[in-house]
Amino acid sequence: MTYRTLVKGGIIYSLDPDIGELPRGDVLIEDGKIAAVAGSIEASDARVLDAAGRIVLPGLIDTHRHLWQAALRQIAADWTLTQYIDQMLLGYGPRFSAEDVYAAELLGAIEAIDAGVTTVMDWAHIMYSPDHADEAVRGLRDAGVRAVFGYGSPGGPPAEWYADDVTRVAGRHFSSDDGLLTLALASMGPEFGALDDALADLELARRLGVRTSIHVGVGLLGQRRSITELHRRGLLGPDLIFVHCNMCTDAELRLIAETGGHASISPRVEMQMGHGYPATGRLRAAGVQPSLSIDVVSGVGGSVFAEMRGTLEAERGIAHHTALSRGEVVQELGITTKDVVRMATIEGARTLGLDDRIGSITPGKQADIILLDVDRPNLSPLNNLSAAITLADNENVDTVLIGGRIVKQGGRILEHDLGAVQRGAVASRDRLLSAAAKAEVAS
Ligand SMILES: [Zn+2]
């Protein structure tokens, strides 16, 4: 039996060039996919979702987020990159049990859904054992989010079981490519690891047919010229996602464009921690349309709305500063609210290689759709759709559908006992902090 849902009477912001924006329109969903979008659709047998006073847009997409840090939220809010590496990656990281990873993945993925993020690339460089990987995947699956699970070694020389385990996880959890969860490799790359390990990672990912995500151009490590190194070996390609890119040269950014590669930027974390100035404008000038990412959920919150605003502010701020320092003024802003909404949706889908199934409200794509309540004090009266989307917050995320399944409605998360999820995260947090305190006393 065909299962139909009709999203009725909303303000459609489709991100599909043929559909555009509809001041009032309907979206018909059949068996989890978008079947039709029009001003008015008759579907008497469909369940109706009233979208009056709601902006209807594709679910937001985050292309790099370390979900495993969700139970340690706020801890890194005043840290530099050096403090983050010392305390989070080298301090707390090794104390994570598989149980801690599960608790954080579940909480972090629900946080994403609550904030209108229907797809997240989970950059999971916390794989201290095969059990850690299984529990991370279980957390994502239980949360019900669409996710790209980025299998990652925690840094240092990879464990001897690591490559075999990536292959095991690919076969065990990702044998079909059409589910909510897909696989990628979260590689330390040539900046955070040894070059030979980075090359082995690329070979492994290409053998498995999955994308590889690498942090590049990060602070002083960014002077290692990872992209140039990979280019010299003929290894760049459309299956690579370059995270941050702050200290990459313009020539390196052009190499990403020429080889069909992708970029994921996290301007708020980059400005806080000292990765270098956000590369947003330089990437766009080089021909790379970046996607957005939250990165360190233990430092900044999980709101992609906030990331859109941070991206705009950083890029506009530097343009004004550069002009004023020359005694000139900017006549027209080079980056708009429309641009960042694209980065948070369709460009995210392209980065992850999922643009055939998500990223816009297009017939045939998965029904990953969110309804923003704009009839609230922070957004009413509505005068500009893309501006309202960037100025929204979680309070405006009224309804979230993933593959046509309603996972948030009327501002409330469905399918989960939030109290139990939070208790699990608190217990994990307490274990991690007391283990850290004990280590402190012992040293
Ligand atoms: Zn990161």
Report pLDDT for 77.
Answer: 97
Mean pLDDT, residues 270-278 taken together = 98
Separation between Cα atoms, residue 136 and residue 127, nearest integer Å: 9
How many residues are there in the chain?
A: 443
pLDDT at 290 over 90: yes
Mind listing the pLDDT tens digit for each residue in 63-93? Answer: 999 999 999 999 999 999 999 999 999 999 9
**In sequence order, what are the residues at sequence separation of 6 or more whose Cβ sits closer than 8 angstroms to the Cβ of residue 320?**
329, 330
Does the N-terminal peptide bond of residue 58 adopt cis geometry, omega within 30 degrees of 0?
Answer: no
CA 28–ligand 1 middle distance (angstroms): 37
CA 64–ligand 1 middle distance (angstroms): 6
Averaged pLDDT of the chain: 96
Beta bridge partners of 211: 184
Report pLDDT for 177.
Answer: 78
CA 66–ligand 1 middle distance (angstroms): 7
Tokens representing 360 are 């816009």
**Which residues in 313-396 belong to E strands, given as ranges?**
369-373
CA 160–ligand 1 middle distance (angstroms): 24
- In one-letter notation, the amino acid at residue 391 is L
Residue 442: pLDDT band by 50, 70, 90 thresholds? Answer: low
Separation between Cα atoms, residue 398 and residue 394, nearest integer Å: 8
The H-or-E segment that residue 117 falls in is strand 117-124
CA 236–ligand 1 middle distance (angstroms): 20
Report pLDDT for 262.
Answer: 98
Mind listing the pLDDT tens digit for each residue in 335-377? Answer: 999 999 999 999 999 999 999 999 999 999 999 999 999 999 9
Report pLDDT for 61.
Answer: 98
Separation between Cα atoms, residue 81 and residue 363, nearest integer Å: 43
Mind listing the pLDDT tens digit for each residue in 186-199? Answer: 999 999 999 999 99
Q: Which of 279, 238, 277 is closest to 261 using CA atoms?
A: 238
Report pLDDT for 443.
Answer: 60
Mean pLDDT, residues 149-167 taken together = 96
> How many CB atoms sit inside 10 A of residue 299's CB?
24
Mind listing the pLDDT tens digit for each residue in 376-425? Answer: 999 999 999 999 999 999 999 999 999 999 999 999 999 999 999 999 99
pTM above 0.85, yes or no: yes
Mind listing the pLDDT tens digit for each residue in 306-322? Answer: 999 999 999 999 999 99
CA 419–ligand 1 middle distance (angstroms): 28
Tokens representing 289 are 């349309």
Q: Which of 282, 287, 233, 285 is closest to 262 using CA atoms?
A: 287
CA 323–ligand 1 middle distance (angstroms): 31
pLDDT at 437 over 90: no
